[in-house]
Amino acid sequence: MKRCELLIVGAGVAGMAAAVAAWDSGCRNLVLADRADRSGGILPQCIHEGFGLSAFGAELTGPDYADRWAAALKRTGVQLLLNTEVLSVTETKTAILSSREGLGELGFERLILATGCRERAVGSLPIAGTRPAGIFTAGQAQALINLRHQSLGRNILILGSGDLGMIMARRFTLEGKRVIAVVEQNDHYGGMARNHHRCIEQYHIPMLYRSTVSEIHGVGRICGVTLTQLDSGRREYISCDTLITAVGLIPERELARGLGDPDWLYLAGNCHRIHQVADSAAAEAEAIGKRIMQEGQR
Amino acid sequence: METYDVVVIGGGLLGCFAARNLRRWDLSVALLEAREDVCTGVSRANTAIVYPGYDHKPGTLKTEMTVRANARFDTLCRELDVPFKRCGSLMVGFGAQAEAVLRRKYENGLAAGVPGLRLLSGAEALALEPALAPGVTLALYAPSAGTVNPWALGVAAFENAVDNGAQPWLNTAVRGIRAEGGSYVVGTDRETFSCRALINCAGLSADRVQALFRAPDVRIVPSAGDYLVLDQTAANAPGHIIQYEPEDGGKGLTAVPTVEGSLLLGPSERENETDFATTLPGLDFVRERAGRVLPRLALEETIRSFAAVRPNPQRFDGGSVGGFVIDNPAPGFWSLIGIKTPGLTCADELGRHVAEHAAAYLQAERNMAFSPQRTGIKKAHGMSCEQRRAAIADDPDYGEVLCRCEDITRAEVLQAIRRGAVTVDGIKRRTGATMGRCQGSRCQQRLVQLLAQEGNIPACAVTKDGRGSEILGGGHETV
């Protein structure tokens, strides 16, 4: 069985930042594994600006920001395993890796999970009605539009006003689609003021506060939703052909399930906690990468 | 004109099993399905229980068939290479009224020969199933109860029927039936079929299909029920099927630990509903009942809600029908109308039953070439490291995980497509992809790509669940 000193799972910003920091702190036997065919995690689909203000002192797009980290990674000797799924991790510090080349076992001394987060799906919400086509999570829609150049629909309703919901409201508008409204259950948008200003206000996209989607209509493809005003209980049918849900992010820690809290396991980036900006995930991961080496020397 | 010995109308669980069992005889069989795939109607949403057989009166066809089908279920699932979990069931009662129901079912079960049936005290039930609410006073334990994935079973029966020579006709909706010189002529929106025997398994439409020839004595009054699905990681989920009998005699709740590891909760019940749409009161009901019987269950780990539709048979005077309705409107014509619970349990038995009638009517010989064995798609999940290594060496697509939640590889998805999946839900029914906690938000696009590539169609023509459910480019045609 192959062995390494440090295994990092996930080559998004957190994984890359942790890898660079660990390398710079003296770690020389380090593997960074990712299921995708490139590094960067979610960043390549985030084509809007706003990344890197603190890490690089510049306002970059997601792909450019990912490239900066990839360049930093490239000057190290970190072994990057792409197209590689980490299937499981055992208590005996062994990871099972799957790729088209085969199934491998990799022993490690320490493990950083930088597996990011997943989006809360519509099925987990108390929404009644049918389960037609035309419902996407915001991140799923972002990947389809920005990476696959697909059209999803024409009349878009967005549920949830976190940063991703607001960014996608602007993105659909720029694609020539009609964003009917962004629906938010609270009385204030969920994301950053900067995104509200740039994505909602500047594009005159309607916000519906203290409201939620309570029912989905349509057989085959979605044709509308019932919108409920939370204070008055008033219900209203709104016609749409696409529903985008931006209703929260959940740290992705499935690999850590059942392991307890061993001293060799670290969580970095969104898999530890949901960060508002990528720089914050990177900073946290860098600190872990450094700390691991210091702890290793003790 | 397409000529067969027997035409089966409807590619749900019942139609697929009828076709499978008809091929035990030397009869040519056509299976007509209106949709693009099998198991898209009543069979697509179900409580997934293989019942032990104590729910109905002893001595009835329904009870006898259920007990027999249950006993045969391991064999059936081995033949068809479908996972089956005989996890046992606990029907739990709270208070005297519920206890009376349990004792009656216990007596029914003893008379019907249900194996291993036991009445447990509240303490015994809690020892067996710690997830239960402490207030349980009596439980009926049926170790023979189990759970199976209804789609997996239906698709397996379909594949086995086709492997044995049954001819599937998908996208073929029946429009008319008439008798002509000892045969039946079945008109569809495609070909016209001629057959000597006709089996109607048209699910929610079975009454209307028979009425194309002669109106049945019963009609189908559908009712809908809402369900929740909890993630396989949900804390304090039961290991047994739990059937809750409330203290007030009202409607209870069933919890099923599925073969996939998720927990199914439901159903609520609503009369006279035909659409697969959930309601807020229905979902609230399920949550409230679940809270009563499984108080520590992590309901926040809900990943999906859905509605099922049941085909309740009703007499025209409004009276309900207790047993299975197997109508025989004319010689050689059998209709399965309003087969609801335990239709999943009895699907193969019902198929055998009508096949035997048809074979006797047609004086058919046994088909000595019939093979009950079917091989399913080899699943990467659950393989040992050595098995998985060998699978990848044999087919590199086994190395590429497409659905992370359920650990389903590209190889399994491609096989599903090559075995007949033409929609995203068709892949789901054959592999389990998109059934997990992210509900397809991460793998759906990969499935769309593969369906487009294998079907040689543009991605925007790929549907979730048949015509009208296009996933991409929505709304173009409404301009």
What phi, psi does A144 have (nearest 5°)?
A: -65, -40
The CATH number of the domain covering residues in A2-118+250-297: 3.50.50.60
Residues of chain B with CATH 1.10.10.1100: 385-471
Quote ipTM for the complex.
Answer: 0.95
Closest CB from A129, A221, A241 relative to B277: A129
DSSP string, B144-192: T-EEE-HHHHHHHHHHHHHHTT-EEE-S--EEEEEEETTEEEEEESS-E
Contact B396 A101 (CB under 8 A): yes
Return the CATH class of domain B2-44+151-217+317-362: alpha beta
- Cβ-in-10-Å burial (0-12, 13-18, 19+) of A54 comes to exposed
Q: Which of B94, B124, B93, B122 lies closest to B106, judged by CA? A: B93
Is the dihedral angle over the CA atoms B91, B93, B97, B103 positive or is it negative? Answer: positive
Terminal alpha carbon distance of chain A: 27
For chain B, give the percent of residues with pLDDT over 70.
98
Asked whether the predicted pLDDT for residue B224 surpasses 50, the reply is: yes
Its pTM stands at 0.95
Of B100-114, B264-278, B318-332, the range with the highest mean pLDDT is: B100-114
Q: Is B274 helix (H, G, I), strand (E, B) or coil?
A: coil
Chain B 69-128, CB below 8 Å of chain A: which residues? none
* Residue A153 Cα, gap to closest chain B Cα (Å): 4
Interface of B with A in 279-308 (CB under 8 A): 279-280, 282-284, 302-306
Q: How many Å lie between the alpha carbon of B24 and the closest alpha carbon of chain A?
A: 37
Residue B325, SS3 per DSSP: strand
Separation in Å, CA of B129 to nearest CA in chain A: 22
Taking only Cα atoms into account, the Rg of chain B, rounded to an integer number of angstroms, comes to: 22
Of the candidates A130, A214, A221, the beta carbon closest to that of B275 is on A130
Q: Which residues belong to CATH 3.50.50.60 in chain A?
A: 2-118+250-297, 121-247
SS3 B136: coil
User: What fold characterizes domain A121-247?
Assistant: FAD/NAD(P)-binding domain (3.50.50)
Backbone angles phi, psi at A221, to 5 degrees: -105, 145
Which of A115, A118, A122, A221 to mutate: most B Cβ within 10 Å?
A: A221
pLDDT in tens, chain A (298 residues): 899 999 999 999 999 999 999 999 999 999 999 999 999 999 999 999 999 999 999 999 999 999 999 999 999 999 999 999 999 999 999 999 999 999 999 999 999 999 999 999 999 999 999 999 999 999 999 999 999 999 999 999 999 999 999 999 999 999 999 999 999 999 999 999 999 999 999 999 999 999 999 999 999 999 999 999 999 999 999 999 999 999 999 999 999 998 999 999 999 999 999 999 999 999 999 999 999 988 765 5
Determine, for residues B407 and A87 on separate chains, whether the beta-carbon distance falls below 8 Å. Answer: yes
Mutate to test the interface with A, among B471, B476, B478 (most CBs of A within 10 A): B471
- Six-digit token pair at B138? 């009596």
- Provide the 3-class DSSP secondary structure of residue B413: helix
Structure tokens at B111: 């008379």
Tokens in use for A285? 């991961």
CA distances from B370 to A240, B200, B353 (A): 51, 23, 17
- Amino acid type, B182: G
Where in chain B do CATH 3.50.50.60 domains reside? 2-44+151-217+317-362
Most B CBs within 10 Å, among A35, A81, A100, to test the B interface:
A100
Asked if B445 and A99 come within 8 Å (Cβ–Cβ), the reply is no
> What is the nearest CA distance from A125 to chain B, expressed in angstroms?
8
Residues belonging to chain B: 479
Q: What confidence tier does B317 reach under pLDDT thresholds 50, 70, 90?
A: confident
Q: What is the pLDDT of residues B427-450, one digit of tens each?
A: 999 999 999 999 999 999 999 999
CB contact under 8 A, B280 and A35: no
B85-144+221-311: CATH number? 3.30.9.10
What is the secondary structure of B218-258 as a DSSP string? Answer: EEEEEEEEEEEEE-TT-TT--SSEEEEE-TTS---EEEEE-
- CATH dotted code for B385-471: 1.10.10.1100
- Set of chain A residues whose Cβ sits within 8 Å of the Cβ of B396: 100-101
Average pLDDT value for residue range B159-163: 98
